[in-house]
Amino acid sequence: MKDFKGKVAVVTGGGSGLGRAMALTFAGEGMDVAIADVDLGAADKVAGEIRAKGQRAITANVDVTNRAAMGAFADRVYGELGGCHVLCNNAGVSTFIPVHQLSEADWDWVVGVDLLGVLYGIQAFLPRMITQKQGGHIVNTSSIAGQVPLSGIVPYHAAKYAVVGLTESLVIDLKSENISASALCPGLVKTGIGSSGRARPDRFGGPTAPDPVQAAVDSSGYDPMDVAALVLKAVREDVTWILTHPEYRPQIEARRDKILAAYDWAKAG
């Protein structure tokens, strides 16, 4: 996608962190922006920043795990902003709990937000993006945890690998519609992810306080605006995997080599 001016970006989880950074970055390119977030106050603040740049912005209190609410959000975006050209399925959460101690609600929450949230975004917006016949780009926020295994975040891994697979399929299946897709796969970025329990809906057990490990996550890593700049470049140049942290390259290579070695093992019979 080369032209952004006058078009519309939709960002889930746009009230904080990477979503806020993407919303501001696309607004900086002359796009109007719609933000869905369970934290409406945070989303409204970002909308204020966007309006100060001279762009239109709307917000909605939407839980991405609610399929009907995502559909209603899409109706509003099309009604009030007239389209969707860049769809950022970005809202995400994580637990930092050993796999054998996870509750059913922990699993449901993380897989619900990180995988089903992406799916519901696609279901709500993609058919209309196709009908509007103006092309577009879908950015699904995965993680480096969607590329290489890391410890202590099993449901997060499951969802983030799935998001990468889903995105790769979209790239193939949507070519003829002039719509492309990217999977954003960052390492640590300075955001509120470590305290994502603050936004945990009641039906998944309600808000939880961050533990010290989680708090440390929030104060480390890349600047989200730098990551968002790379997202913009990837959308412009149609790059499928947005890999921000070069320090993970050896782990990606090691995983690839192990997979290929498994073929050799099978052949050796």
> Which residues have a catalytic role annotated?
156, 160
Q: Which is nearer to ligand NAD, 174 or 228 (CB)?
A: 228
Query: Is 186 an interacting residue with respect to ligand NAD (CB under 6 A)?
Result: yes
DSSP string, 156-180: HHHHHHHHHHHHHHHHHHTGGGTEE
Structure tokens at 179: 């719509």
| Residue 163 near residue 183 (C-beta atoms within 8 A) | yes
- Which residue, judged by CB position, is nearest to ligand NAD in the bound state? 92
Per CB under 6 A, 25 contacts ligand NAD: no
Contact by Cβ (8 Å): 120, 161: no
Among 33, 153, 193, 231, binds ligand NAD (CB under 6 A): 193
Q: What is the DSSP letter of 196?
A: G
Single residue of 1, 8, 9, 12 touching ligand NAD by CB under 6 A:
12
Round to whole Å and give the CA distance between 227 and 244.
7
Query: Where does this chain touch ligand NAD (CB under 6 A) — which range of 50-58, 60-68, 122-130, 208-216?
Result: 60-68
Check if the beta carbon of residue 84 is closer than 8 Å to that of residue 63. no
Q: Of 6 and 71, which CB lies nearer to ligand NAD in the complex structure?
A: 71
Amino acid (one-letter) located at 210: P
* Residue 176 · residue 1 · CB < 8 Å: no
Given 91, 116, 162, 242, the residue binding ligand NAD (CB under 6 A): 91
Site pattern 245..264 for ligand NAD (x: CB under 6 A): --------------------
154 near ligand NAD (CB under 6 A):
no
Distances (CA, A) of 194 to 2, 63, 143, 180: 34, 19, 14, 30
Query: By the criterion CB under 6 A, which residues form the site for ligand NAD?
Result: 12-13, 15-19, 36-39, 42, 62-65, 90-93, 113, 141, 143, 186, 188-189, 191-193, 196, 199, 221
